[in-house]
Structure 1
Amino acid sequence: MGHDSEYTGRYVVLFDPSSQESGVSALSSAAGIAPLERVTGTESGNVAELLERPDVSVLFEDLSAAVVEVRPEQRHALVTTAEAEPSIVTAEPERMVHALPITTPQQAPTEFFPAFRSDEDVIARHTRAETAAVQGPSWIEDGYTWGLQAIRAHLSQLTGDGVKVAVLDTGVDTDHPDLAGHLEATESFVPGETVEDVHGHGTHCIGTVAGPADPQQGPRYGVAPEARILAAKVLDNMGNGPDGQILAGMAWAVSHGARVISMSLGSRVRPGELFPQTYETLAVRALALGTVIVAAAGNDSRRPVRTAPVSRPANCPSILSVAALDPALAAAHFSNGTVNGQGGEINIAAPGWQVRSAAPGGGYRAMNGTSMATPHVAGVVALLAQAHPDASAADLSAALVAGAFPLGQPAADIGAGLLQAP
C-alpha cells in the first residue's frame, strides 16, 4: 500500500462550536468549498451515501466537524483559510483507518502507512512461537475466560446495567444468540454495506464488552453483560475506512448517549509524529458531553527487538490508550508502547492474547491484539458508570486508571498497570 493511498484527498475541518457559521462561510467564500450538507448524530440514515459523493461535503453539527471535498487546486486556499480564520480550529488531510485484528488477509503494510488493519494480520506469523514461549499463571477457563479472571470482572457485582457502550468497528452479527438482545441501536456508515459483520472483528469486540453472563456455549467472556451496545459500522468488510466514517460514528454514539466509545482501530505513526488534532479536539468535546473514548495502542512492535509508537488515534492525550497483555501478564510482543510523548503514552493494559469471544454465524473464536484488550477497558468503564451514574467522563477515566493493578513493569509498556473491574 503506497503512501498516497492512506490519504483520501478530502480534509477534516473542525470549527469552534461558538462560531461555527463563520467558519462555514469562510470555507465557501475564501476556499471555494461547496456548501456543506448538514447532519446530526440522530439523523444518520444517509450519511454513508453522502460521504461517498464527490460533490458533497458533510458537516456533523453535533461535533462542529466537517469532511470536505477538496480539489487539488483548492488545497492551498483551504489551508491558508484555516490558518487565518479564528473560527476554524484545524484542517487536516483525511486518512484511512484500519481494524486492529482482521479476519481476512490484508495487503502487507508499508513501513509507515498501513490501513486501519486488524491485530491478527500483523501477528499471525508469531503465533506458534509465542504460544510455546508464554509461561504464565495457570488459567482454567471452565467458567470464565482468562481475561475476565485477570481483570477480576468475574468477582464484580456490577453488570453495566443499562449503560450505553458504543463500539466503532466492522459491525456486528445482529443474529448472534449471545448478542442480539444486547443491541440498543445499530448503524452502518460504510457506503453500500449493512451493519452485518462479515469480517468478525466488530462482533468479537462487542462480545468482550457485553457478552452475556450465561452464553450459549463455553465460559463467560463479556465484561459488562447487561450493558447496552451501540454498534456502529465504520470499517468496511475488509476492515478499512476513512476518518470521515469514524467521525460519523463518533457523532452518532455521542448523540445516542454513549458513556464510552470503544475503538479497536488505528493507523501507524512515525517516531516523533504528533497526535492528530482532529481526534484530540473531538475527544475533548466528547468528554465534556460525558463520553469516555478508549482506543487500541496498535500491534506494530516486535518485542524485545523493537517497540513501535502508539497508533493514531490512541495517541491523543484525551483518548485512553490500551496495551495488550499475554497470559503471563507481560506486555504482548506485538503491543505498541510509549515512544512518542504528548499523548503517545500507554495509559492502561488489558488481556489481548488468545481472547475468546463471539464470532459471526453464532459461534466463537480466539483472537489476539490490542483490539482485544480495548473492549475489556470499555466494559470496565460501563461497570464504573453503573456504580457512579453521576460521574463525569473525566472522573470515570481517572477512576479507571487509578484502579489499575501495578505489575512492576515499565509504564512505557503497560501504563498504570493491569485493568481491574470495580
Structure 2
Amino acid sequence: MDRRAFGEHPNRPGGPPAGQGAEYTGRYVILLDPSNQESGLNALRSAADIAPVERVRGAESANVAGLLDRPDVSVHFENLAAAVVEVRPEQRHALVTTAEAENSILAAEPERIVYASQIMAPDRAPTAFLPSYRSDEEVVARLSKAEAATFQGPAWDEQKATWGLQAIRANISGMTGRGVKIAVLDTGVDTDHPDLVGCIEETASFVLGESVEDVFGHGTHCIGTTAGPAKPQQGPRYGVAPEARVLAGKVLGNNGRGTDGQILAGMDWAVARGARVISMSLGAPVQPGELFPQTYEIVALRALERGTVIVAAAGNEADRPGFVPPVGRPANCPSILAVGALDRGLRTAVFSCGGINGQGGEVDIAAPGVDVHSSVPGGGYARFMGTSMATPHVAGVLALLAQANPDASAAELRATLLAGAFPLPQPARDVGAGLVQAP
C-alpha cells in the first residue's frame, strides 16, 4: 500500500500533497477490509478515541444527513466498508499512525469539500460561483473578438434534438435506456419539472436541513441531459436516455458544496438501490503529481464488482491553450471514468482539464459540454457549460448500452463504451478514447 494513502490533516506537519485552496472538514474517511471491518474500527477506538460509531446500510437514507452533521458521532457505511470518523485534533496523528499499522484499514484520508463542476452560460444569471470554477463570461472575456465570434463552433440544426445528442448519435439510437437505473448525485432535482416527473424513480437528500429540491440548478440540468423525455414540453429533445429511471441523490447543498462523506453516502445508497450508472458532475482540483484518493478508488472498485459504473467530471480549471491543470478528484481515480468537455466544433473546451497526472488521472472519454440545453428548476430550460454538462451525456450512453447488453458486467459496459468512442484529432490527454457514441 502506498503510504501516501494515509494523509494527515493539512494543519499538521507532514500533511498530504493537497491541491492549493483545498478545503477540509477535520474528519477522516476510512476504508476498511470488508471481511474485518470491526477490527479496524476497534483499533481506531482504542488508539485515537474516535467518536462513537453509528452504522448505516446502503438502502437507508432518512437519517444519514443528520448523522454526518453531528460532531459527536462517526458514520460507518457498512456495505461500502467505509467510515467517516470524528477525531479530536490532538488525536489525528494517532489515527494516521494506527491506520498505517492496522492491516484491516486500507486507507485513511482527510475529508474534503467538493464542488459542483459547473460554468453558467452568459444568458443565465448565476446563483453562485465557486472559487475553483469560473464563469463563461470570464472565458469569453479572454478571447479576441474573432475567437468569440466562432466560439460556439459550426451551426447545428437543433429544432428536433440538441447538438449534443446529434454529436453522440443518441437521437438516432434504437435504445432508450428503458428500465435502467441511473443515479445522479448532485444538487438535487426539481421534482415538479414537467419533463422530469416521469423519470424520477426515487430521491434522497444527504444534506442536513435541505430537501431534494434543487435550488442551485445544477442537478436538474444534469438529470435532464441524462434522462429528459423524447418529447419535452418545449424545444428540442435533450435527454440521452429518455426511458431510464433516475435516482436523484442530493449530495451537494443549495450553495453547490458538499463533503466526501455526503458523496460516499450517496454512492452507498445508489449501489444498494441497483444503479447501473452513477453520474457525478462534481469534484475538487488537484496538483500535478498528486495521488488519486484511495478512498474513492476502492469504493469505485467495489461498485464495479456489484455492477455499477461511475462517471465523473474532469474539472473546469483549464485556461487553454496556455494552462491545462490535471483532472480533478474523484474523476482521477483509475476505476472512475473521467469525462472531458467538447464545444460545438468538437474541439476541447477551453476550460476542460487534461490528463496531466498518470495512475488514473487520464481523461477517459469526451462529450458535449458547451452551450448545452437542458432543464432547470421552475419548469424551464437554460444552456450551461462545463465538464458537468459532458458527464451526463456519458452516463446516458451507458444506460443505452446497459439496455442493449442487459447481462453485461460493469467492467464490460465500461470497455464497450470506450471501444465505441469516435476518434478525435486531439491528443488522448485531452479527450481520452474520443467522442462518446450511442449504440
Band of TM-score, shorter chain: over 0.9
1:5: Cα distance to partner? 6.9
Q: Does the CA-based 8 Å contact 2:20-2:286 persist in structure 1?
A: no
Is 2:149 the counterpart of 1:149? no
The aligned counterpart of 1:274 is 291
Deviations 1:301-331 (A, max 9, x none): 0111111110100000000000000000010
Q: Does the CA-based 8 Å contact 1:177-1:362 persist in structure 2?
A: yes
1:27: Cα distance to partner? 1.4
Question: Residue 344 of structure 1: which of 345, 355, 361 is its match?
Answer: 361
Is 2:138 the counterpart of 1:125? yes
Question: Residue 230 of structure 1: which of 231, 240, 247 is its match?
Answer: 247
Question: Residue 305 of structure 2: which of 282, 288, 293 is its match?
Answer: 288
The aligned counterpart of 1:262 is 279
- What secondary structure does 1:180 align onto? coil
The aligned counterpart of 1:361 is 378
Is 2:332 the counterpart of 1:330? no
Q: How does 1:100-115 map to 2 (within 5 A)?
A: 100-101=117-118, 103-106=126-129, 109=131, 114=132
Q: Does the CA-based 8 Å contact 1:122-1:299 persist in structure 2?
A: no
Q: What letter is aligned with 1:288?
A: E
Whole-Å separation in 2 of the counterparts to 1:400 and 1:5: 32
Q: What letter is aligned with 2:128?
A: P
Q: How does 1:43-58 map to 2 (within 5 A)?
A: 43-58=60-75
Whole-Å separation in 1 of the counterparts to 2:256 and 2:112: 14
1:101: Cα distance to partner? 1.1
- What secondary structure does 1:172 align onto? coil
Q: What letter is aligned with 2:171?
A: H
Is 2:300 the counterpart of 1:312? no
Q: Does the CA-based 8 Å contact 1:123-1:334 persist in structure 2?
A: no
Q: What letter is aligned with 1:224?
A: A
Q: What letter is aligned with 2:139?
A: H
The aligned counterpart of 1:387 is 404
The aligned counterpart of 1:88 is 105
1:186: Cα distance to partner? 0.2
Whole-Å separation in 2 of the counterparts to 1:315 and 1:3: 16
Q: What letter is aligned with 1:104?
A: T
1:33: Cα distance to partner? 1.2
Q: Does the CA-based 8 Å contact 1:123-1:299 persist in structure 2?
A: no
Whole-Å separation in 2 of the counterparts to 1:104 and 1:127: 19
Q: What letter is aligned with 2:273?
A: H
Q: Does the CA-based 8 Å contact 1:324-1:349 persist in structure 2?
A: yes
Question: Residue 210 of structure 1: which of 193, 205, 227 is its match?
Answer: 227
- What secondary structure does 1:314 align onto? coil
Whole-Å separation in 2 of the counterparts to 1:214 and 1:4: 43
1:150: Cα distance to partner? 0.2
Whole-Å separation in 1 of the counterparts to 2:87 and 2:148: 48
Deviations 1:62-106 (A, max 9, x none): 100000011111101100110111000011000000001164233
Q: Does the CA-based 8 Å contact 1:100-1:264 persist in structure 2?
A: yes
- What secondary structure does 2:236 align onto? coil
1:146: Cα distance to partner? 0.1
The aligned counterpart of 1:397 is 414
Instruction: State which drifts further: 278-287 or 130-139.
Output: 130-139
C-alpha distance 286-190 of structure 1, shift in aligned 2 (>3 A): same
1:28: Cα distance to partner? 1.1
Q: What letter is aligned with 1:366?
A: R
Q: Does the CA-based 8 Å contact 1:210-1:229 persist in structure 2?
A: yes
Gaps of 5+ in 2: 1-18, 120-125
Gaps of 5+ in 1: none
TM-score (norm. length: structure 2): 0.91
Q: Does the CA-based 8 Å contact 2:152-2:371 persist in structure 1?
A: no
Q: Does the CA-based 8 Å contact 2:228-2:242 persist in structure 1?
A: yes
Whole-Å separation in 2 of the counterparts to 1:160 and 1:310: 28
The aligned counterpart of 2:8 is none
The aligned counterpart of 1:247 is 264
Q: What letter is aligned with 2:92?
A: R
Q: Does the CA-based 8 Å contact 2:58-2:77 persist in structure 1?
A: yes
Is 2:86 the counterpart of 1:69? yes
Q: What letter is aligned with 1:106?
A: F
Deviations 1:176-202 (A, max 9, x none): 000011111000000110000011000
TM-score (norm. length: structure 1): 0.95
1:265: Cα distance to partner? 0.2
Whole-Å separation in 1 of the counterparts to 2:151 and 2:315: 20
C-alpha distance 138-325 of structure 1, shift in aligned 2 (>3 A): same
Whole-Å separation in 2 of the counterparts to 1:277 and 1:402: 27
Q: Does the CA-based 8 Å contact 2:152-2:343 persist in structure 1?
A: no
1:3: Cα distance to partner? 6.4
Whole-Å separation in 2 of the counterparts to 1:5 and 1:191: 22
